[in-house]
Structure formats: structure tokens, C-alpha cells
Structure 1
Amino acid sequence: MPDAIDLDAYLRRIGYRGTLAPDLPTLHALATAHAAAIPFENLDPLCGVPVRLELDALERKLLHEGRGGYCFEQNLLFAAVLRAVGFTVRGLIARVLWNQPEDAVTAQTHMLLDVEASGERCLADVGFGSMTLAGALRLQPGVAQATALEPFRLLEHEGEWRMQACVRGDWLTLYRFDLAPREIVDYVVANHYVSTWPASIFVQQLVVARTTCDRRLTLRDREFTVRRVGAEPERRSLRDTAEIRRVLHEEFLLRVPDNAELERKLAALPG
């Protein structure tokens, strides 16, 4: 997949005006701005629309149409941006364990990035929904690393790594992975699986999220939640499609498509 990207359009989309260099401060700043500006969303698979991973399709959807996407879209776009800035980037794949037992065997359905920054090996992931990493982590096992929100850490055992976040005092695993670089075909296959498998959450439910420097916003079907570190979550149920569309636009910065199938899906959401 070609890596040439309209870098100026990307920087406008995320509102970034800082310096650009293949270093750790730039990586942190770009990841943080990306997570705050480009929402995680699954409107296409929810409506049966194919999710395309070609770079031109990602640029059109996420940069020019005011849309968001899920992990493959978000991290493939971010990888192209980082390469344009001068970073060395490798794609990885993970088994999601969020809200699963630690020993659960799940499919490899999540993409993250292995990035060289300031001579260090780091991990970036702008596409993990409600627990998206705003920033980057040094590839150092067993060390709590601060972010603007929760601290994160990496654990390693016999070549297997686990990404964890400290949520209300408990270290919870997001996913497990190894450091073997993956080819685009691995993401194409996983993307097809999660966007078309009838039991996939992305086919069954509305899932939208945005991560800022001080809060996490999520929408699951009609339940809109705002989470701040050290505070109780604020939850409310959205009444109708008009309120859902308003929240998608105002809170998630999402340009909502105007089509009959999406309107039907929104009206049928439980809650």
C-alpha cells in the first residue's frame, strides 16, 4: 500500500500546528491530537457498507468527509502520516482482551503500531475506541507510563506482550500481541471479518468514541457516557435519532451521513 499522504490535509483535520520531526514529543503530540479530532466509529459496518483500507479511501473518509473509523482505518492512516514525517513504522496485530478473561483466546482483530522515535522503540494506537491511547508508550515492560488520562503499562512474558491501563486503581488488559510485523493482507482479512461477521459488535451495535486530554466520550447504541479520571461516569440515554445525530456531530465532531439506511439503523437502536 503506498504511503504518500496529503499531510497538510491531515494536519488541518487534527488541528495540529506544532513542529514535525521523527521524535518522541512529535509522536505524542500527533497521537493526542488525532485521538481528540478523529472519532472512532462504525457507521459503515453497522449499515452494511464495505470498509475500505486503501490510503485514498482513508483520506477521503477520515480527512475530507469529516468521518472517523475503527482501528484498521485509524492506524493505517496514522502510520502513513508518521512515515511522511520520517518515522520508521511497523504494523502489529493483537487479540483483544478488554472485558474478557485474561486467558481468553480471541481472534487477531486489532491493529497497533510499532514506531521508532528519538532512537527508542515505542507503541502507538489511535484506534482502540473507549480506551484509545492518547500519546505513545516506550516499549519497556513493567513500567507505569503516564498519559493525560490513565497510566498505561506493558507486560511481557516469553515474547508475548500485554497492553494494560489503570482504571479506578485496577490494571486491566486491553489486548495481547507480539512484535512480529504484519502485512497489509493480515489487516484486510481481519477487517473483513469484523465488519461482516454477523456476531461482530461492529455489525450489531453503534460504537462511537473520542478521547481528549481530559475525558473519554463513548456512545454505545443510545447510551452516551463521559468519563473523567477520578470522577464517576456521567451517563444518559439519547431519546431519538435527532438527539443521536446531534451528539454525534457536537460531541464526537462527526459529519453524519444523510442516508435512509443509517436513519433506519439509528431509529432501531435499543435503549
Structure 2
Amino acid sequence: MNEAQCREYLKRIGYTGEIARTPQCLDELILAHLAAIPFENLDACEDHLVPSLDEHVLFEKIIRHKRGGWCFELNKLFFELLKGCGFQVMPVAVRITWMREEPAALLHRATVVTLENRPYLCDVGYGGPGPKGVTPLTDGEYEIQGESYQIVTGQGETGDMVILKKCYHGEYHEMMRFQNQRAEDADYAIMNFFCARADDSFFASKPVINLYTKEGNRSLIDHTLSLQRQGEKVTEECHSEEEKKEWLKKYFGIEK
């Protein structure tokens, strides 16, 4: 991503600060991105498309046409922004294990950023329960935007393993795990195709839109809109396609 595109990207997410290769700057970039660009799967579930992962296509869709995307799109484009801004970045393939009993497949993309010789997790493509900021990849407990997370590292069968847990109702539950090693674009192409085409893919079967706000997560899943108002969760049901289009624009900034 060239310098002009980086500036356009930063304007899209409303980031006006200086770019410094520090955890604080990365944290601010993640928050700005999450508050401006929604997670959404409309290409796959409504238009029955396999979303393109080409950088130029993603830039046009997400930055210039003000759409969102799912993890393979959002974390790919954010990866290119960070690389264009001089950050040391590595893409990783992740197993999402949150509230699952059966083994999870590798079906998520995230980024490991090395800052001051320390690795950090950066993920702008998870949606609701994921950490809303930079996460140190060293053993310990961390508070991120008022939520508690735990990192556990160890040796897996094929290399260094990282496990991220989230505190839920007073107990830590595993959220994701991944090998701390580089994944390739070819790996994500397969995952992206599976999520868009598999009969049992959750994201290909119903609309899932999520945007982080100061009040909390804002989501539209299928026909149910969930908002945080004055600390309470409020839900509304959508009764028409026209109403859904209005909600997409009003609450998520999406125009299709």
C-alpha cells in the first residue's frame, strides 16, 4: 500500500494522529478501525459471491465505497496498511474456539505485529467478543477496553502455540488459538472459499454485521438488530428489506 493510499485509509477510519511504531499507536489504529469499518458478510450471504482478497479490490470496496468485510478482507487490508506504515507484521491462521466443544478448523485471519522486539496480536476482523485493542503475546492477564483476557503460550505439535482466553461470568474461556508462524495468501484463499460456499458455513447462511461503538457492540444478525443504550441491550426485529437497508445505512454506514 503506497503513501497516498495509507493517508486515504487513515482518513476513512478517522485517525488524525502521528504514526509511531509503538503499542499505543497500534492500539489507537485498531480502535479507530473497529469504530469506523463494520464486520459484514453481505457479499457471501446475500450476493452469493466468494469475496475477492485482492488488495486493490478490497481498497475500492472498503475504503472508497465504505463497505465492511469479514476477517479475510478486513485483516488483509489492515495488514497492508500497517506494512505501508512501516510496522513489522506477520499474518497468522487462527482456530476460533469460543464456546465450542468440537475441534475448530483454521478459519480466521489475524496479524502478529512485532514492536520493540515483542509480539502483539492485532485483529480487526473478529467482531463482537474479540479484544478491542492490541494484545501482548506473552503469558499473563490483560484488560482491554474494560474486558479481561488471558494469554497462554506453549509448544504445539508444529511450533509455538498461542492461546487467547476471555473472562466470561468470572471464568476464563478459550477464544482462539494459533501457531505463531506465518500463513500464506493461498491458505486464506481456501478458508475464504470454504466460508463463502460450504453448506454448513454460518457466515454464508445469514447476514452478520457488527460495529464497535463507545456504548458497546452494535449488531444485525439475520433480522435482529442489537444496540447498547445507556448500558442496556436493546433489540429490534426487521420486518422488510427496505427497513433493513435503512438500518444498514443508519447504524453501520453501509449502502448497497
TM-score (norm 1): 0.86
The alignment-based identity, stated in percent, is: 28
Q: Deviations over 1:64-86 (max 9, x none)?
A: 11100000101011111111111
Matches within 5 A, 1:211-230: 211-227=212-228
Q: Deviations over 1:145-175 (max 9, x none)?
A: 1222422221224333222222343323221
The aligned amino acid for 2:233 is P
Q: CA deviation at 1:241?
A: 1.7
Structure 2, unmatched stretches of 5+, are: none
Q: Establish whether residue 151 from structure 1 lines up as the match of residue 152 from structure 2.
A: no
Aligned partner of 1:24 in structure 2 is 23
Partner SS state of residue 252, structure 2 = coil
The aligned amino acid for 2:208 is V
Q: CA deviation at 1:44?
A: 0.4
The aligned amino acid for 1:8 is R
Describe the shift of the 1:252–1:235 C-alpha distance in structure 2 as closer, same or farther (beyond 3 A). same
Partner SS state of residue 105, structure 1 = coil
The 1-side partners of 2:121 and 2:191 are apart by 20
1:119 to 112, 117, 120: 117
Structure 1 or 2: more strand by fraction:
2
The aligned amino acid for 1:25 is Q
The 2-side partners of 1:225 and 1:75 are apart by 24
The 1-side partners of 2:146 and 2:206 are apart by 26
The aligned amino acid for 1:134 is K
Partner SS state of residue 28, structure 1 = helix
Decide which moves more: 74-83 or 220-229: 220-229
Q: Deviations over 1:25-60 (max 9, x none)?
A: 110000000011000000000121220001101100
The aligned amino acid for 2:181 is A
Q: CA deviation at 1:232?
A: 4.8
The 2-side partners of 1:198 and 1:65 are apart by 29
Q: CA deviation at 1:195?
A: 1.0
Decide which moves more: 117-126 or 75-84: 117-126
The 1-side partners of 2:186 and 2:88 are apart by 20
Partner SS state of residue 145, structure 1 = strand
Matches within 5 A, 1:154-165: 154-158=151-155, 159-165=160-166
Alpha-carbon contact 1:149-1:214 (below 8 Å) kept:
no
Alpha-carbon contact 2:95-2:106 (below 8 Å) kept:
yes
Alpha-carbon contact 1:148-1:213 (below 8 Å) kept:
no
Decide which moves more: 197-206 or 144-153: 144-153
Aligned partner of 2:168 in structure 1 is 167
RMSD over aligned Cα atoms: 1.8
Decide which moves more: 172-181 or 233-242: 233-242
Structure 1, unmatched stretches of 5+, are: 258-271
Aligned partner of 1:106 in structure 2 is 104
Partner SS state of residue 245, structure 1 = helix
Count of residue pairs the alignment pairs up = 250
Describe the shift of the 1:228–1:128 C-alpha distance in structure 2 as closer, same or farther (beyond 3 A). farther
Partner SS state of residue 86, structure 1 = coil
Describe the shift of the 1:186–1:117 C-alpha distance in structure 2 as closer, same or farther (beyond 3 A). same
Partner SS state of residue 58, structure 1 = helix
Matches within 5 A, 1:246-261: 246-255=246-255, 257=256
Partner SS state of residue 142, structure 2 = coil
Alpha-carbon contact 2:96-2:176 (below 8 Å) kept:
yes
The aligned amino acid for 1:226 is L
